[in-house]
Structure 1
Amino acid sequence: MNDMKKIAVIGSINMDYFIETDVFPNVGETVLAKKSFTALGGKGANQAVAAGRLGADVTLFGSIGDDDAGDIFKKKMEKEFVDISFVQSVKNIATGSAFIELSKSENRILVVPGANQCTDREYVERMFNEMIKHDIFVFQLETPVSMLEYLVPKLADHGKIIVLNPAPAQTIQAELLEKITYVTPNEHEFKVVMNSVDKMEDLLFTHPNQLLITKGTAGVFYSDGQKIVCVPALKVEAVDTTGAGDTFSGAFAAALAEGKELRESIQFANIAAGLSVKKKGAQAGMPTREEVLQFYASS
């Protein structure tokens, strides 16, 4: 474990506001919900927490507001295995927020970026000397894409491993994509992200060992250059899938940091993601390293 690579997660930090309901309302319809609750979230924070719980050496780079939600974030992260020394607190702007409807283990999410918009080019320019000390970089798209366009080529020039979870989905320019080591869209996002109308199989063959398409309970698909490989998902009774994708990303980075090969890293991430959906809240169900190893031992 002494040779473990260091992970930098550069991304969003939100306060999540959950509403639990039997049915999603139609347009113009009012529905009585069952209950509501709040939890810490944001794809960046979620992925950092997931990696940290699995034993990774992880630093989170991002932005919070100078508000109650920002204070809650700092207190909560004291209990997690994540370095937040370089998270900036921005005055006169609110911490990012997400409004999440839950119904029968499905979810719908609206995000207000808030302070996440300040995780921009100027911020990463200031933080670059700290960032470059890391080996694996994890990104999402809840922060300005202009930051990604500036930072990714620099990291690629330094030979860093770059993982992009492209959500919320938007098109990534081809010249930027080719500098990213692993791109992990889900089955709904990949055509938008890759700016392509090609079938999934054709796109996978075009981007061997780089494009990893997650398909929920069907597993993760990628091309090894010769064939399409499916790494099966963990079969569990889902309570809340909100943080499953973020758990996958954090766990995938943690596995790479240990030196695992691609397929083994995906398998490790699938197990962590499967275990994560057993509790409500994006971070509540994220497993520890011991829980994942226990699953390996019992399977």
Structure 2
Amino acid sequence: MKKIAVVGSVNIDYFVESDVLPQVGETVLGRQFFTSIGGKGANQAVAAARLGAEVSLFGSVGNDENSKMIKSKMLDERVDITNLNVVAEAHTGAAFVEISKSENRILVIPGANQYTDIPYIDRVLQQLLMHDIILFQLETPLEMLEYTVPKLYEQGKTTILNPAPAQVVPAAILNMITFITPNEHEYSTVFNQHDTSMEKMLGMYPDKLVITCGTKGVKFSDGDSIHHVPTINVDAVDTTGAGDTFSGAFAVALAEGRDLKASIEFGNIAAGLSVRKKGAQTGMPYRPEIDDFISAGFSRG
């Protein structure tokens, strides 16, 4: 199997569960509080590793107790952290996640993630180039993405951008990225095309733009028509890590040689299975769970 690298954020997630999400200026009582290791980079690395991939995490943490927890967890998940950047002058990133039923709202404090920057990439570039598929998100500096993607493009690497939190990415960079996987709320911001319909955007970026639409599934274009790949039916408990699970599983499927549609289907299954437990990483499935689900009668849309 091809080797996967994830370049992205590493956080400690603080979860608060309540019956309703507070409105602006409103105070509500929470029912439960718990912590988990997260960050979109760490999440996607764990998702891919649990599915059998050889995965390396490139990112930054502080020199604090939280970073010790993260490093221990990544090693337990068989994620290589040889090139993890430990920053003495910053705290490990944090995310505060509010959960109500199957909805969530997230506030992220970058902390050390801001040091996953151009100087860091210069230090680890040769190690990064040893991987075949590289995943990015937008919880680390955009300048780093703009600097790194052309170098990977020149070497013919497969790159995946999960553009969250959404911000405008230069068109020249988007054109060099192999696959772009925004959700239905993010794509217009990322491409700076707020007046363009989803269908038109998909047609403009065939076999590249993959739009996730929550419970409505995933859409992509092959250049001739737009395809819809449905999700699986599950009782959702917490959707916090579903998007990251999709990204990690999508990368694994590509690494195993699946085509675009089959890779999306594989990602959908993993994402669907991931929402049955609380916490971004807690519900991420292991490979036997997906294989058993497929064996039990999953048919491709």
TM-score by structure 2 length? 0.98
Rounded to whole Å, the distance in 2 between the matches of 1:191 and 1:34 is: 36
% identical aligned pairs: 60
Task: Report the CA distance between 1:78 and its aligned residue.
Answer: 2.1
Secondary structure in 2 matching 1:290: helix
Question: What do the CA deviations read for 1:36-73 (whole angstroms, capped 9, x no partner)?
Answer: 00000000000000000000111000000000110110
Q: Deviations over 1:233-272 (max 9, x none)?
A: 1111100000000000000001101011100000000000
Map residues 60-79 of structure 1 onto 2, 5 A cutoff. 60-79=57-76
Displaced runs of 4 or more, over 2 A: none
Q: Deviations over 1:63-115 (max 9, x none)?
A: 00000110110111121021011101110210000000000110000000000
Correspondence for 2:262: 264
Q: What aligned pairs does 1:24-43 form with structure 2 within 5 A after superposition?
A: 24-43=21-40
Aligned partner of 2:204: which letter?
T
Aligned to 1:85: 82
Match of 2:56 in 1: 59
Report what 1:280 is aligned to.
Answer: 278
C-alpha deviations, 1:106-151, integer Å up to 9, x for none?
A: 0000000000000000000100010000000000000000000000
Distance 2:72 2:221 in 1: 42
Aligned residue number for residue 246 of structure 1: 244
1:104 pairs, out of 85, 101, 105, with 101
SS of the counterpart of 1:138?
Answer: strand
Give unmatched runs, 5+ long, in structure 1: none
For the pair 1:133 / 2:130, whether they are aligned, the reply is: yes
CA distance in 2 between counterparts of 1:24 and 1:16 reads 17
Partner of 2:42: 45
SS at match of 1:178: helix
Match of 2:120 among 120, 123, 130: 123
1:170 aligned residue (167, 170, 175) = 167
Match 2:144 to one of 147, 150, 158: 147
C-alpha separation in 1, matches of 2:151 and 2:74: 29
- Distance in 1 between the 2:24 and 2:288 partners? 44
The answer for the alignment partner of 1:20 in structure 2 is 17
Whether 1:158 aligns to 2:145 is no
Provide the C-alpha distance between the structure 1 equivalents of 2:289 and 2:80, rounded to a whole number of angstroms. Answer: 22
Question: How far apart in 1 are the matches of 2:57 and 2:40?
Answer: 11
Q: 1:193 aligns with which of 190, 205, 214?
A: 190
CA distance in 2, matches of 1:129, 1:154: 11
For 1:11, the equivalent position in structure 2 comes to 8
Aligned to 1:294: 292
How far off its partner does 1:8 sit?
A: 0.6
1:236 counterpart residue number: 234
Q: Within 1, Cα distance between the matches of 2:197 and 2:275?
A: 29
Between stretches 5-14 and 69-78, larger displacement belongs to 69-78
Shift of 1:26: 1.5
How far apart are the structure 2 equivalents of 1:209 and 1:77?
32
Aligned-partner Cα distance in 1 for 2:4–2:249: 11
SS in 1 for 2:37: strand
Write the distance in 2 (CA, Å) between the matches of 1:14 and 1:225. 38
CA distance in 1, matches of 2:192, 2:184: 14
Q: 1:207 aligns with which of 205, 224, 229?
A: 205
Comparing 63-72 and 22-31, the one that deviates more:
22-31
Q: Which amino acid aligns with 1:53?
A: R
Gapped runs of 5+ residues in structure 2?
Answer: none
Taking the aligned partners of 2:75 and 2:129, their CA distance within structure 1 comes to 24
CA distance in 2, matches of 1:195, 1:243: 26
Q: Which residue of 1 aligns with 2:215?
A: 217
Secondary structure of 1:240's partner? coil
Aligned residues: 296
- Secondary structure at the residue paired with 1:34? strand
